[in-house]
Amino acid sequence: MFIKIDFTSDMPIYEQIKNQIIEGIARGELQNGDSLPSIRDLASEIGVNMHTVAKAYNELKDMGLIAVNKKHGAYIAVSKGYDKEFLNEMMEELTPIVAKAICKGMNKNELIRLIETIFDSFGGREDE
């Protein structure tokens, strides 16, 4: 699991870290129980401040994807299953993107095919 920061990106660094770990989990590279590097190690490895990594880990914990304790450090602990709140959040994030696509003339099938392409790029693991 490598984390690669694009310092020219507009996306905050802590969010790049967060997203790459999320994507690692989605891809199946990071499985429940796998441990993440310590905050200090990861920070020095990618050359950022410790509290930038800490912020990323914190949000991952809040999302229910990792757990942190003093003994084992941070490790993957995915609590699967989504509730209505999660769906609302997804809709809020997706709505402006879908609207933009519609404005630019994308039709439903094109959009779905795009989503499928992205979904399949994660290995298509659907837990069934």
Partner DNA sequence: GTGGTCTAGACCACA
Partner DNA sequence: GTGGTCTAGACCACG
Q: What is the SS3 assignment for the chain? A: CCCCCCCCCCCCHHHHHHHHHHHHHHHCCCCCCCECCCHHHHHHHHCCCHHHHHHHHHHHHHCCCEEEECCCEEEECCCCCCCHHHHHHHHHHHHHHHHHHHHCCCCHHHHHHHHHHHHHHCCCCCCC
For residue 32, with 0-12 CB atoms within 10 Å meaning exposed, 13-18 middle and 19 or more buried, which class applies?
A: middle
Which of the listed partners (DNA, a copy of itself, none) does 50 bind, with a CB threshold of 5 to 8 Å by partner kind?
Answer: DNA
Which of the listed partners (a copy of itself, DNA, none) does 67 bind, with a CB threshold of 5 to 8 Å by partner kind?
Answer: a copy of itself
Which of the listed partners (DNA, a copy of itself, none) does 38 bind, with a CB threshold of 5 to 8 Å by partner kind?
Answer: DNA
Size of the site for a copy of itself (CB under 8 A): 56
Site string for a copy of itself, 8-47 (x = CB under 8 A): x----------x--xx-xxx--------------------
In the complex, which residues of this chain contact DNA (CB under 7 A)? 12-15, 38-41, 47-52, 54-55, 57-58, 68-71, 73-74
The residues of the shown chain that bind a copy of itself, judged by CB under 8 A, are: 7-8, 19, 22-23, 25-27, 63, 65, 67-69, 71-72, 77-78, 80-82, 86-87, 90-91, 93-108, 111-112, 114-122, 124-128
